[in-house]
Every structure is written in structure tokens, then in C-alpha cells.
Homo-oligomer: A and B are copies of this chain.
Amino acid sequence: MESRKKKSTISSKAFANLFNIIEPMKSFQWGKDLGIENLHQGFTHVFDTSFETTEGLEIYLSHPAHVEFANEFLAHLDKVIVMDYKPTAVHP
């Protein structure tokens, strides 16, 4: 448990560090599932990154720092889902 927590913290820091390197990343936040609902399907963490444009996302995806991080990160995950979307914000 200790080593899993440590690994998770290291991965979060490495992920967050991309924010210092890859200019098109406009925000980065992450967190661990709180276990309030029972619909997590075994997933444990959320990482949420935003970009101003689809081109910015594509620059990020092909950036050497991201490619190196992603290869290392994905190799340590049991499972992963990545969704890229243009958010439609709703206001009351």
C-alpha cells in the first residue's frame, strides 16, 4: 500500500511536470476516487488536462516529453481510459 501510494505520487508529479514543459497545457488537476458511489469499475485516479485548441492537444500528444512520460506511465497501469473532448459548458 505504501509503495503503491508512493508510485501514485511519483506518477502524479511526473504528469504535473509536463505542465512546466509543454506550453499548450492550460490546466492540470488530478485526484483519487473517493469511493462514494460504486461506479468506478476498479479505476482509482482521474487526471484532467485542458487545452485551448485541438491543435494544442495534438502538440502535447506528440511532444517528446509527453511521449516519454506516457510510455513509462502506461506501462505501470493495470488499465486506463483516455477521453479527449471539446467541452460544452452549461450555465444555469
Structural contact, A86 and B34, CB atoms closer than 8 A:
yes
Number of A positions contacting B (CB below 8 A) = 39
Smallest beta-carbon distance A76→chain B, Å: 15
Which chain A residues numbered 15 to 73 have a C-beta less than 8 Å away from chain B?
A: 16, 19-20, 27-37, 39-41, 43, 45-46, 48, 54, 57-58, 61
Known contacts A16-B90, A90-B16, A90-B19; decide if A85 and B37 are in contact (CB<8 Å).
Answer: no
Partner of A85, one of B32, B58, B82, B89: B32
A contact residues vs B (CB 8 Å cutoff):
12, 16, 19-20, 27-37, 39-41, 43, 45-46, 48, 54, 57-58, 61, 80-92
